[in-house]
């Protein structure tokens, strides 16, 4: 069911957005050569506890997950792109890391993701990040009253395709509110002028993700981490966005 939020409810979601943004900002500073993924998860766990927030991940067990997630952070490295299960891995120079984080504050959820390079970056990784950043910006810009859901999807997809990458449509954006994943589903490619008419009060996660060399994915034996089928690297950017009469409001802006 698609729910529209009153202006007062959108305002009540701001603390969750600020908190999620602050955690991602802190983790992006701490992630460095020699840092263990489990240590990053531990920092996020501590920040949740100190803020009196709740994790949206630790007990999360959707149909595609092999078991409850068990951590508060998704950490996807290099050819991993989604749902990376934190494990005993020490970051190396040049790793492409995606950190995805969602939390609940005062009953409201915010969800965001950020990809960046640890240490010295390869140009091809910077190109991936640049394209994902522009695709996210294009999707946010299209999230306006009177537009349709397909306008957001088309804005994302055209940016990614124009840069020469493919798109996998098995996972995409989603509604956000009292729960992390709600209606509507927001595909990362679509047709302009098609789909749900966008109205003030709709809050969604817009999240372009794609891979450098393929649109095919596979799942690790851990039952969560999704990787490219060909070993090419992946990138993932995400913001929680409220559609308002004054334009899109990025609740997780860093």
DSSP states of 203-214 as a string?
Answer: EEEE--EEESS-
Q: Which helix (H) or strand (E) holds 81?
A: strand 80-82
List Cβ neighbours of 233 (8 Å cut-off, separation of 6 or more). 78, 79, 96, 124, 125, 128, 211, 212
Q: Residue 128: its pLDDT value, please? A: 98
Question: Could you give the 3-state DSSP secondary structure of residue 99?
Answer: strand
Question: Could you give the 3-state DSSP secondary structure of residue 25?
Answer: helix
DSSP at 172: -
Q: Residue 65: its pLDDT value, please? A: 87
* Segments making up each domain of the chain, as ranges: 7-250
Rounded CA-CA distance 143/250 in Å is: 10
Q: Per the structure block, which two tokens stand in for 155?
A: 């804005």
Longest dimension (CA), the chain: 48
Q: Residue 64: its pLDDT value, please? A: 84
Q: Are 244 and 10 in contact (CB under 8 A)?
A: yes
Look up tokens 């069911």; give the residue: 1
Query: Which listed CATH number (3.90.1150.10, 3.90.230.10, 3.40.47.10, 2.60.40.1080) goes with 7-250?
Result: 3.90.230.10
Q: Residue 63: its pLDDT value, please? A: 87
Q: Which helix (H) or strand (E) holds 40?
A: helix 37-51
> Which residue numbers in the chain have pLDDT < 70?
none
155-159 long-range Cβ contacts below 8 angstroms, 24+ apart:
156/188, 156/189, 156/206, 156/208, 157/188, 157/189, 157/190, 159/131, 159/134, 159/135, 159/208
Phi first, then psi: give them for residue 101, nearest 5 degrees. Answer: -145, 135
Q: pLDDT tens digits, residue range 11-30?
A: 999 999 999 999 999 999 99
């Amino acid at each position: 069911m698609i729910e529209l939020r009153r202006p007062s409810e959108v305002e009540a979601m701001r603390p969750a957005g600020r908190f999620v943004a602050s955690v991602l900002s802190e983790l992006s500073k701490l992630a460095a050569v020699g840092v263990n993924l489990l240590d990053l998860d531990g920092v996020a766990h501590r920040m949740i506890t100190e803020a009196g927030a709740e994790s949206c991940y630790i007990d999360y067990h959707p149909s595609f997950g092999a078991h409850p997630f068990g951590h508060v952070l998704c950490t996807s490295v290099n050819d991993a792109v989604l749902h990376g299960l934190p494990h005993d891995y020490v970051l190396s120079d040049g790793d492409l890391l995606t950190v995805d984080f969602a939390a609940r504050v005062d009953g409201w959820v915010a969800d965001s993701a950020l990809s960046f390079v640890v240490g010295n970056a390869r140009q091809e990784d910077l190109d991936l990040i640049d394209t994902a950043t522009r695709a996210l910006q294009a999707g946010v810009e299209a999230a306006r009253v009177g537009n349709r859901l397909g306008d957001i999807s088309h804005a994302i997809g055209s940016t990614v395709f124009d840069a020469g990458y493919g798109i996998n449509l098995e996972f995409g954006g989603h509604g956000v509110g009292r729960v992390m994943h709600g209606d509507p589903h927001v595909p990362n490619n679509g047709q302009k002028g098609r789909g749900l008419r966008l109205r003030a009060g709709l809050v969604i996660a817009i999240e372009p993700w794609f891979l450098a060399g393929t649109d095919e994915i596979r799942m690790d034996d851990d039952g969560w981490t999704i990787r490219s089928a060909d070993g090419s690297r992946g990138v993932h950017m995400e913001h929680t966005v409220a559609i308002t009469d004054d334009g899109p409001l990025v609740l997780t802006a860093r």
